[in-house]
Amino acid sequence: MSTYAVQPAIPLAGDGDAMAEVLRRAGVTRDHDIWVTGPAGLTALIWLTGKRFRGAAYVHLNRIAAMAAADALIIPHACSPAELADLLRGAKCLRKGGVLIVQLKGGLSADSLGDAPAMLEPLGYHVERRLYEKGRSICIARRAEKPDVSVAA
């Protein structure tokens, strides 16, 4: 049994109002092709389909790297920057200009993003927004139109 000094935040997928606000801020609409993944991905998919997001589909974490490019990738559970890097490394599942929405492990501060921005930029993502509310740290990033050629592979 685990004990916590502070109650952990529920996944973004479990809070419909928060999902709606994050999608609005990220510019994701009902007409976009959306991949959702991770342990809270099915919960997010149920919410998205209930709200008539016709292009939403669940993809297992092990299959993300092999998927065709979508307009948005949502990872609606708390994951570490290292887990995120492993998931995105080599993945072409998000089109250029597409949006990545991820809930990161941590508290409600800029420090809770840890090294996520520094980790995402070499992988071709630019962090646009950081949201901290209801015990969650959410990162909204966009896949760069042009890859960063200054970063060694």
Summarize pLDDT for 121-131 with one digit per residue, the tens. 888 999 999 88
pLDDT bucket at 151, cuts 50 / 70 / 90: very low
What pLDDT sits at residue 95?
93
Q: E strand or H helix at 97, and its extent?
A: strand 94-104
Q: Express as a percent the part of the chain with pLDDT over 90.
A: 50
Higher pLDDT among residues 31 and 109, named by residue = 31
Tell me which of 3.90.45.10, 3.30.930.10, 3.40.50.150, 1.20.120.720 is the CATH number of domain 12-143: 3.40.50.150
Summarize pLDDT for 43-53 with one digit per residue, the tens. 999 999 999 99
Beta bridge partners of 100: 73, 141
Residues 87 and 114: beta-carbon distance below 8 Å:
no
